[in-house]
Amino acid sequence: MKRQIVLGILSLLFLALVSFIIVFNFAMTNFIEHEAKKALQEEIIFFQTATDEDIDIEETRSMQVNTLFLEEDMLSFPYYTEREKRLIQYMQQQPLLDDDIISTTIHGEKFYLAQITVAQDLIPTSENIVLYVNVSALTTLAKTLNIIFLTVLIIFTALAILVGIYLGKKIENAEEKTQQFFQNISHELQTPIMAIQGYAEGIETDILPNHPQAAQVIMKESQNMSELIEELLFLAKLNSGQLQLNQERVDVNELVFDVLRSLEWLTKKNNIHIRMNAAIKSPVIIGDEKQLYKALSNLLRNALTYAYHQIFIDIQTSIQHVQIIVSDDGDGIAAKDLPHIFERFYKGAKGNMGIGLALTKEIVELHNGELLAKNTKSGGASFTMILPAS
């Protein structure tokens, strides 16, 4: 649908430009013809009324009328230019009635012509007069503008095609990512639902006699599903621009300690030792404490998933920034996964997927910060959260 809209807009712009060229040519042709005939008609009236004492000659014509006086038998005077002689020759071959106005092209030049006969007492040397307007300059200008318009049209068409292809691919990629996104959501939700359903059926049919253990699994999977739904709701708010940050002063050391306390049970369960290098004077940043808590919690959960024995937390401060560095002693991030580590539901070499790191990056960027990922010299993964200092 979006691709059709883009193509429709480009088509309308193309048609608008073509229509402009057609209208311009029509208007220009009519203008030249109207002004040339008007100028000739005024000149004809002048000669026809030249014996009157009250002749009102309008000097505001937009086109110049040239006059050729002919001898008897439509012969030209010897001092006329080659152009004028060609015009007279044309008139000799195709004589006109008085007051008739025609257009013709002679040797690539376009003229509007008229012929009149006047009394000899007005012009003793000649009674035949040829009036003409040379509109070649205007027709040449129109042709030049047409070439320019056509060149613009060709360039515009080429650009429109390229833009259409580019936007079409972007839309297709977006649609493909959206489809993949919903497939991943279905997969992520299906896993805890199947676990809950399986243990619930086991309890119902007495296949699982140890109900407390089954209840723990159901609670754990319910919590996983709840967290995923919460992340999806957060993602929806981000995409719709409805997320409002509650700006307040946040003590960075306290923020890290709060997250560590909330994950203490997971740390003990995974038998992970956490080493922390806290700033002597706790730095303060301005931001939404709840969202920053979520971002840091995602980083530590990720580290607890991949660490073997230890996690290192280093808080560094400068005049402009506060850095929170979370490193682990795991296997690190595969080289091919590193550029995509913050993509939503990206499936890495180990088969894991999710949106935790993607949302963390979104939160950090909402605070005008930056989130970086790399591998340490010892081989583990390291994430650096850079936030503006207060």
Report yes or no on 139 lying in a domain.
no
**Do residues 262 and 177 share a domain?**
no
- Torsion angles phi and psi, residue 228, rounded to 5: -65, -45
Report yes or no on 347 lying in a domain.
yes
Q: In the listed set 240, 271, 289, which residue is the last one of a domain according to the structure? A: 240
**Do residues 213 and 301 share a domain?**
no
Q: 217-237: per-residue pLDDT in tens?
A: 788 778 778 877 887 787 777
Concatenate the DSSP letters of all residues of 114-173 into one string.
Answer: EEEE--TTTSTT-SEEEEEEE-HHHHHHHHHHHHHHHHHHHHHHHHHHHHHHHHHHHHHH
Report yes or no on 16 lying in a domain.
yes
Question: In Å, how far are 32, 71, 179 from 62, measured between CA atoms?
Answer: 10, 30, 65
What is the pLDDT, as a whole number, of residue 192?
76
Report yes or no on 350 lying in a domain.
yes
Q: In the listed set 220, 240, 260, which residue is the last one of a domain according to the structure? A: 240
Tokens standing for 109?
């030049």
**Do residues 74 and 200 share a domain?**
no
Report yes or no on 140 lying in a domain.
no
**Do residues 226 and 271 share a domain?**
no
**Do residues 176 and 201 share a domain?**
yes
Residue pLDDT tens, the chain, 390 long:
556 666 677 777 778 888 888 898 899 889 988 898 898 888 888 877 765 454 454 555 678 888 887 765 555 566 678 888 888 888 878 877 777 888 888 888 899 988 887 755 555 555 678 888 998 888 888 889 888 888 888 888 788 778 777 877 877 777 777 777 677 677 667 777 887 888 777 777 777 666 677 777 788 778 778 877 887 787 777 777 777 888 999 999 999 999 999 999 889 989 999 999 988 888 999 999 999 999 999 999 999 989 999 999 999 998 899 999 999 999 998 888 888 888 877 776 665 556 788 889 999 999 999 999 999 988 899 999 999 988
Report yes or no on 213 lying in a domain.
yes
**Do residues 128 and 183 share a domain?**
no
**Do residues 235 and 255 share a domain?**
no
What is the per-residue burial (b if ≥16 Cβ within 10 Å, else e) of 48-77?
eeeeeeeeeeeeebebebeebebeeeeebe
The total domain count for the chain is 3
The enclosing domain of 306 has a CATH number of 3.30.565.10
**Do residues 214 and 159 share a domain?**
yes
Q: How far apart are CA 94 and CA 313, in angstroms?
A: 101
**Do residues 75 and 151 share a domain?**
no
Which residue range(s) make up the domain with 371? 248-388
**Do residues 230 and 256 share a domain?**
no
The enclosing domain of 221 has a CATH number of 1.10.287.130
Report yes or no on 312 lying in a domain.
yes
**Do residues 21 and 130 share a domain?**
yes
What is the pLDDT, as a whole number, of residue 215?
76
Q: In the listed set 134, 165, 188, which residue is the last one of a domain according to the structure? A: 134
The pTM of the whole model exceeds 0.75: no
